[in-house]
Structure 1
Amino acid sequence: MRRGAKVLWAIVGLWLLATAAAAATDASMNLLRSVAVTDPHGTIAKVRRQLDDHDASLPPAQERALLWGMGTAAINANDDVALTESLLRLDNLANASADPVAAATAGFLRARHNIANGLGDSDGGGVSEALLAADKVLGHGDRQILVWARFQLCDAFALDEKADKALPACRQAESDYAALGDMYGVADALNDQGIALMSLERFRDAAIAFQRARARFRQAGAEELATMVGDNLAQVYLRMGRPADALPLSRASLKDELRAGRVSDSLFSSADIARAEAALGHPQEAYARIRQTVARARAAGIGGQLTDLLKSESELAEQAGQLKQALADVREILAFEHATDTPHLREMEAELEQRYAAREKELQIGQLERSNRLKDLQLKSAQIEARATQQQQRLVNLIVMLVVGALLAISLLLFQLWRGQRRHAAELLAQTLRDPLTGIDNRRAFQERALAMLDTCEVAAAHPHALLLIDIDNFKQINDSLGHPQGDLVLLTIAGFLSRHIDAACHLARIGGEEFAVLCQAYGHDAAMRLAEVLRQGVAGLALEGELRGLRVTISIGVAQFDGVRCHDLSSWMRAADGALYSAKSGGRDRVIAAAA
């Protein structure tokens, strides 16, 4: 795979060295981690000033770390002058100090440059150069250097599309960086795994790797790098047929790349945007964009990318109907591959010419179809004139159908009105049985339920019905001191608590201002007293909010059993429960009293 690869070579360190760099002692190869990517031109300028000001006093390890950052920034910015300067200084440092790390650093930079520019091993080496560089530091005593070198091999294999070698190397690099606690390095290794998986057309796995890389960059606070990896993820989405998901990722990446001056990466993002536009049904816009991108690549002299961009231009030119340009692009690609006059070229030319001829035939067929449609319209016009009388009959039939349809519509409307009136009547009936403040049964509903219970159910001696009358203690003081709205809130809170904590065999109703009733069918005396005590304790422990915060509200409860003797009808039953409630109130409130049997 191509995209973003050479940029991610540079993400191996922390921050731009401190302003007092003359006194700096950090010799880590991660010295210029993210700035070599996010600000390559600024990094080159700052390193040059650093080297000019402290050339003689810099330790070799510090100098090679600076030159590594400058070289990676130069590759990202397509600055051959700065890259050459970095390589010359590294070669001199390696020779003067017999420093194998400096020699390996120069080798990794050359490998990266060769792979980015499409140079194979026969042209000076890409992967082979990286292997030679890694061999120079094999067995080095500094673990940081070893992990750094292993990752460079992972990166080289991934960028050169040697996925079978890249995957184990990158997974080892991920493990090494995780052991060091380096989230940047983990993200780098995951990104390269995604590149390798994509070259194997394992797109779902590649998408997961890129998403994990973005998450690790964000975890390390490197949002720009997460955005950059987004264009790699966009390429996977394009292969998976998800251009709408790919387009915003590539646009965000392109914005950062143009701001940072990363020419090579911006070309890939522009090409990805063009492919997404074509997939979304905008072939002309896509073709215009890829043409501009190819022109920028030519101006920048980036031969390694130009071949891939020409392939994209050829595909998009064909989609836009520009088959001659598509053929010209194919010829230029083969010219880059030193195969100008080959059977392969003639085969591709013949294929494009056949497509061009097929497209011409499609246009001729389209013209013929339009001519036939015109003749059909003329024939239909004559038929319409000949059937003028038939239209009159159809008009009569239509009027009849409209009348029938209107009658059906009126019938349906009347049915809807009747059903609405029934629903409204049912709602009105429900409202007459419901307390408007608390939403529970009102006094009328309570009386109907109690009378139905007494009328249809025989009282068992072991389990007579139970009635609990509940009154809120000192409720008038609450209304007088806090106002009626707060009093209503107390009623709502207590009603809600009582509704949640009564048994399934019981029914709650509000039968007066602050008075509630709980009607329990076939409920023994002990069970009724336990339920009453639970309700009393629960209300006393309610934590009220707002203006009621800190207010303690209590209730008094009178309990009466319908025994068929003393309580033999609803009136006597209510009097017994009310007498018990009065005893609870007069006895000090916040208590439960049972009516005498």
Structure 2
Amino acid sequence: MFRGAWLGLLLALIATPVVAAPMNAFRESAVTNPHGLIAFVRQQLDQAGVALQPARERELLWGMGTAAINSNDDAALAEATLRLDGLATVAHDPVAAAAAGFLRARHDIANGLGDGLGEALKAADKVLGESDSEVVAWARFQLCDAYALDEKPAKALPLCQQAVAAYRALGDDFGIGDAENDVGIALATLNRVNDAAAAYERSREYYARAKAEQLVVMVGDNLAQMYLKQGRAREAQALSEASLKQELATGRISDALGSSTNIARAEAAQGQHRQAYARMRAAVAQARKAGINGQLIDMLKVESQLAEQAGDLRQALADEREAAQLGSAFETPALRAIEVELEQRYATREKELRISELEHANELKDLQLKAAEAETARRREQQQRQRLVNLTIALLAAALLLIVGLLVLLLRSQRRHTAELQAQTLRDPLTGMANRRAFQQRAIELLGRPREASAPLHVLLLIDIDHFKSINDSIGHPQGDRVLRLLTDYLRGAVGDASFAARIGGEEFAVLCPQAGLTAGMRLAETLRAGSAALALPKDLPVDKLTISIGVAQFDGVRCHDLSSWMRAADLALYSAKSGGRDQVVASKLVG
């Protein structure tokens, strides 16, 4: 799917160079011709050598990095970020340092690696206070894009709107198109479908004003997702097919996979389940082959849904398991190979430059020897100084390689630590069950999926242990914790694979039942209530019987129209069950 963040002006492959705004010279060609831009930048860097001006080098490397992200070329991306880091140090250029940080952030967020948002914030901080309005607009947009891609719409939206205003003040229609596209992404994440569609339409309008027709087509793929949610599947499919044709022509693998996914969804919405399933299997195979794991996770979830619709339940379960495994794997052998390739490429370039310098110095020495014997002493002294310089350079190069190696080891350690912390934030430390945060994520994801009108409604169960406070007060909190673990073990096995159970606080639990319908939901709730009461408690646990009360609510999309109203309905039902004597199941009066 096109995300709008890493764009540029048309690649200047003609004879006359174009004077462009800082960082924006290649933003359109980074999307429309990424492979060509990478080759062009490498040629420019090789030809210019050490004579390249820092501002021009920064501009070229930013274009190369954004093109590398769009074409999934991790080697080119690593080369661009490393050279930007070096430029930032040598030229004391904070914009180059920010550019390297924004590129790493975009890559890490897209591939689920490390703390991409943290990288973006550090990058924005490097240019905070810049007086150049074009640099300010550029940095604000990059931060807005990072929040949008990291699915933090509440923080992305004001930043993206500020970016729209900044680009409007500059009269930059292309930049407005970029920022409006991210406004649409943030609104879509908030499930504000109509508002998101309007933002995407505005983005297409400004790209058209900038004569960036390919970008108009690409944003159409984002608009197609809103059309799907509005029930306009045929129109959505047409937009995504136009975008896919263009993406395949320019070699943008990641964007092409997003368009293929949207086409499969549109086909499924039109009842073409087997055709949609076959298309999705091909797209997943291509994503797996390309190693695009961050995008592959969402694609596997879509394939799982389509497999279930096509009757292939075994594949649906396998896809869900693979998505879960990929979600916990942050470091891959491919990334390590890219790092090695980058180090080799960088070392080779440095060696070539040093050899060229040494050859030039030797030619000068030969000329001086032929000119006069009187210069012999001076030439020898110069050679000694040159050897000392070479030794110093070699020592500095060795020290730099050592530092790079240490930084790589530190980065890998930090990534592993981050992965462990992220896993812990979704699990209750006492019971090992999913916690409130995991429940909210699963519920929001469930409510965001398109649902056929004839399908049964989603059902929510809120469960509370009866008289739990008195259990804690009478036998102590350690024994109370045992009770919680006993109930957790029972619930985990009783709800089945189709439902999702979580401990959302204290003695309160929640169970999500996707497309179960009220009758099945009530039947499950009664099973859980009776099963809890019949649990065989350990003899050393001084509790006679364990009972629970359950409130049941189904998501009708009217009175229960979002997660907050849905939980409120279930909570009122639970309150009725508690006040009505406990050890019973009550359905919400807001349902039906």
**Normalised by the size of structure 1, how large is the TM-score?**
0.56
Letter in 1 for 2:213: E
User: 2:12 aligns to what?
Assistant: 17
Q: 1:224-263 counterparts in 2 under 5 A? A: 224-263=214-253
CA distances 1:136-182 after superposition (whole Å, capped 9, x unpaired): 01111221111100110111111111111111101110011011010
Q: 1:279-318 counterparts in 2 under 5 A? A: 279-318=269-308
Q: 1:80-479 counterparts in 2 under 5 A? A: 80-119=74-113, 123=114, 125-338=115-328, 350-351=497-498
Residues 102 and 123 in structure 2, CA contact (< 8 A), matched pair in contact too: yes
C-alpha separation between the residues in 2 aligned to 1:347 and 1:210? 45
Residues 117 and 146 in structure 2, CA contact (< 8 A), matched pair in contact too: yes
Q: Quick one: structure 1 residues 72 and 346, their matched pair in 2 at CA, closer, same or farther if it must change by over 3 Å?
A: farther
Residues 210 and 232 in structure 1, CA contact (< 8 A), matched pair in contact too: yes
CA distances 1:480-521 after superposition (whole Å, capped 9, x unpaired): xxxxxxxxxxxxxxxxxxxxxxxxxxxxxxxxxxxxxxxxxx
C-alpha separation between the residues in 2 aligned to 1:327 and 1:343? 20
User: 2:33 aligns to what?
Assistant: 39
C-alpha separation between the residues in 2 aligned to 1:27 and 1:240? 39
SS of 2:156 mapped into structure 1: helix
CA apart distance, 1:347: 7.9
Q: Quick one: structure 1 residues 348 and 20, their matched pair in 2 at CA, closer, same or farther if it must change by over 3 Å?
A: farther
Residues 323 and 352 in structure 1, CA contact (< 8 A), matched pair in contact too: no
Residues 111 and 156 in structure 1, CA contact (< 8 A), matched pair in contact too: yes
Residues 218 and 226 in structure 1, CA contact (< 8 A), matched pair in contact too: yes
User: 1:4 aligns to what?
Assistant: 2
C-alpha separation between the residues in 2 aligned to 1:94 and 1:258? 35
C-alpha separation between the residues in 1 aligned to 2:32 and 2:158? 29
CA apart distance, 1:333: 1.8
C-alpha separation between the residues in 2 aligned to 1:212 and 1:318? 37
C-alpha separation between the residues in 2 aligned to 1:202 and 1:264? 25
Residues 327 and 349 in structure 1, CA contact (< 8 A), matched pair in contact too: no
Letter in 1 for 2:109: I
CA distances 1:520-575 after superposition (whole Å, capped 9, x unpaired): xxxxxxxxxxxxxxxxxxxxxxxxxxxxxxxxxxxxxxxxxxxxxxxxxxxxxxxx
C-alpha separation between the residues in 2 aligned to 1:145 and 1:20? 27
CA apart distance, 1:336: 2.5
User: 1:471 aligns to what?
Assistant: none
Letter in 1 for 2:111: N
Letter in 1 for 2:498: E
Q: Quick one: structure 1 residues 222 and 25, their matched pair in 2 at CA, closer, same or farther if it must change by over 3 Å?
A: closer
Structure 1 alignment gaps of length 5 or more: 359-597
C-alpha separation between the residues in 2 aligned to 1:294 and 1:178? 39
Q: 1:505-584 counterparts in 2 under 5 A? A: none
Residues 6 and 31 in structure 2, CA contact (< 8 A), matched pair in contact too: yes
Larger Rg computed on CA atoms: 1
User: 2:72 aligns to what?
Assistant: 78
Letter in 2 for 1:163: P
CA apart distance, 1:332: 1.4
User: 1:525 aligns to what?
Assistant: none
**Normalised by the size of structure 2, how large is the TM-score?**
0.56
C-alpha separation between the residues in 1 aligned to 2:42 and 2:90? 20
Letter in 2 for 1:116: A
User: 1:477 aligns to what?
Assistant: none
CA distances 1:2-28 after superposition (whole Å, capped 9, x unpaired): x322xx2222x433236457x776562
Letter in 1 for 2:12: L
Residues 160 and 182 in structure 2, CA contact (< 8 A), matched pair in contact too: yes
C-alpha separation between the residues in 2 aligned to 1:347 and 1:307? 27
C-alpha separation between the residues in 2 aligned to 1:113 and 1:167? 21
CA distances 1:235-269 after superposition (whole Å, capped 9, x unpaired): 11112221111000000000011111000111110
Letter in 1 for 2:97: A
C-alpha separation between the residues in 2 aligned to 1:348 and 1:305? 30
SS of 1:55 mapped into structure 2: helix
Letter in 1 for 2:108: N
Letter in 1 for 2:145: D
Residues 27 and 62 in structure 1, CA contact (< 8 A), matched pair in contact too: no
CA distances 1:40-62 after superposition (whole Å, capped 9, x unpaired): 00000011101111122221111
Residue 68 (structure 1) aligned with residue 62 (structure 2): yes
C-alpha separation between the residues in 1 aligned to 2:61 and 2:494? 48
CA apart distance, 1:329: 1.1
SS of 2:129 mapped into structure 1: coil
SS of 2:497 mapped into structure 1: helix
2:23 equivalent among 29, 39, 57: 29
CA apart distance, 1:343: 5.6
Letter in 1 for 2:6: A
C-alpha separation between the residues in 1 aligned to 2:117 and 2:59? 22
Query: How many residue pairs align between the two structures?
Result: 347
CA apart distance, 1:331: 1.3
Residues 21 and 134 in structure 2, CA contact (< 8 A), matched pair in contact too: no
CA distances 1:256-310 after superposition (whole Å, capped 9, x unpaired): 1111100011111000000100110100000000000100010000110011000
Letter in 2 for 1:54: A
C-alpha separation between the residues in 1 aligned to 2:184 and 2:153? 10
Q: What is the root-mean-square deviation of aligned Cα atoms in Å?
A: 2.5
Q: Quick one: structure 1 residues 243 and 348, their matched pair in 2 at CA, closer, same or farther if it must change by over 3 Å?
A: farther
Equivalent pairs: percent with the same residue?
A: 58
CA distances 1:35-93 after superposition (whole Å, capped 9, x unpaired): 11000000000111011111222211110010000000000000011111101111111
Letter in 1 for 2:497: A
Structure 2 alignment gaps of length 5 or more: 329-422, 435-491, 501-512, 517-592
CA apart distance, 1:352: 8.1
C-alpha separation between the residues in 2 aligned to 1:19 and 1:106? 27
Residues 25 and 62 in structure 1, CA contact (< 8 A), matched pair in contact too: no
SS of 1:198 mapped into structure 2: helix
Residues 44 and 73 in structure 1, CA contact (< 8 A), matched pair in contact too: yes
Residues 105 and 146 in structure 2, CA contact (< 8 A), matched pair in contact too: yes
